[in-house]
Amino acid sequence: MTVVGNTKTGAALDELAFLTAGDLAVGYRAGRFTPRDVAASHFQRIRALNSAVHAYIDVYEETAIAAAEASTRRFASAKPLGPLDGVPVAIKDLIEIEGRICTAGSAIRRDYVATRTATIVNKLVAQGAVILGKVHTVEFALGGWGTNTHLGAPRNPWKAEVPHTAGGSSSGSAAAVAARLATIAVGSDTGGSVRGPAGFNGLVGLKTTSGRISLYGVAPLSPSLDTIGPLARSVSDAALLFHAMMGPDPLDPTTARIPEADPFAELEAGVSGMTFAVINASEREQVHPDILAAYDEALKVYQTLGAKLVTVDLPKSPADFAVNAEILMGEAYTLYGAYAEDPASPMDPGVRARVLMGRAISAKAYIEAKWRAGADARAMLVALEGADALLTPTSRTPPIPLAEVDETTTPAILTRFVNQIGFCGLAVPNGFTATGLPTSLQIVCRPFEEALALRIGRAHEKATTWHTAVPPMARAEI
């Protein structure tokens, strides 16, 4: 790492981008560096590395530096707005900011200027977060590999030599945080689009329960299943961003009467005495051997920490949810079918094919799928009775070269069912493959039990060091 500048206290400017949000808050209060220093560090790295990583589609340097300077003044007066004050955040380009382009990953919307600002962005700005810019997404968030034909696919920072998948659809969010081009990022998850990219990039990613976080100002894919969630380099940072974004919003009726949650109340309480359900032999057969080995090691960690493991037969294989996605595809076709039907529209071929899957879904089939989802949720609650959470790998497969992606397949086999039954889930890093690609553990909890999922993830994080690893592209000379 090249030291390209020093703060007034002697810290290397480039090193500031490697700190977590928790680290930044401590440093700001101690006066070791300022939000202005940290923002400068990130933009220096974005200028140097974004052409290789391809995380950002739009960078807001002028407004972000102004926000960082305002934050610096607040800390100088000992009046920060809270733990997010001065923390650099990247926003998925599915989320609107008034006066800014919001493509939703589509060349069709290349010139669309938002006329409103999403509630979650307003909440982050009100708490002093520094919005660095917008990051790439799969077109209309409909894809698990992270590809984007027209606007370009972000690269997985763990593979510098051959471009690998960053996961989708929150591909830019994950690549930016992993490459140290943002401290934390906002993503969306309709079938695994936070957890999958988090898993592919060695990050923490939280899939929240529908209604927990406002969707006002977020371009929809499947309104019944869409959720917003954080991507971070630590469980604590994920909890921080989750807490900042959650809460009722009069502009989004689905958030009404949702119970509040304090993710920090028992974050450090551990897992001693808990019981975790684990997948059976049939499900294990489908998992890449390196991922399976990392999964088994994570289970041993939890046993060491005092948790009990029980093997369960799920009422339905996760693969069945991934194949029979009538709700997702039916709603996606309703929203974007006109584009997909128009051969002149510049829609990604893989996305077009997936949207067109919804054309054959009748109203009867859609309604039956909604009823079935409710029955599946009830059956899962019965299957997990007596267990605090279900532990699975986040993905069956590790990241693959972008050139080898088959758009008729999805890596979201083990994540999509969580959305369809309305549960929440957390992805945490738990190892590496033999070729140095991240592996990930998924912690699935009942609706509105995000705080429990974070607590379980934090216990694993405290007992291991996987989350501290830095990808090669983040260590590049700048």
Residues pairing with 192 in the sheet:
none
Residue 393: φ, ψ to 5°: -65, 155
Beta strands in 422-466 (DSSP E): 424-432, 438-445
- Measure the CA–CA gap between 23 and 318, rounded to whole angstroms: 38
- Measure the CA–CA gap between 299 and 307, rounded to whole angstroms: 9
Instruction: Tell me the Cα Rg of the chain.
Output: 21
Decide: helix, strand or coil at residue 431.
Answer: strand
Instruction: Find all residues with CB under 8 Å of 21, minimum gap 6, and list them.
Output: 83, 84, 87, 183, 184, 232, 236, 237, 240, 241
- Measure the CA–CA gap between 322 and 437, rounded to whole angstroms: 24
Strand 204-207 to 228-232 pairing: antiparallel
Q: Which two tokens stand for residue 207?
A: 């899939």
Q: What is the DSSP string of 299-357?
A: HHHHHHTT-EEEE---SS-HHHHHH--HHHHHHHHHHHHHHHH-TTS---HHHHHHHHG
Amino acid identity of residue 357, one-letter, is M
> How large is the angle between the packed helices 289-304 and 450-463, nearest 10 degrees?
90
> How many residues are given for the chain?
478
Q: Which two tokens stand for residue 247?
A: 């809460």
Q: Which two tokens stand for residue 330?
A: 């039916």
Contacts 24+ apart (CB under 8 A), 441-444: 441/294, 441/295, 441/298, 441/391, 441/392, 441/393, 441/394, 442/195, 442/199, 442/391, 442/392, 442/393, 442/394, 442/414, 442/415, 442/418, 443/389, 443/390, 443/391, 444/389, 444/390, 444/391, 444/392, 444/418
- Which residues are identified as catalytic? 92, 169, 193
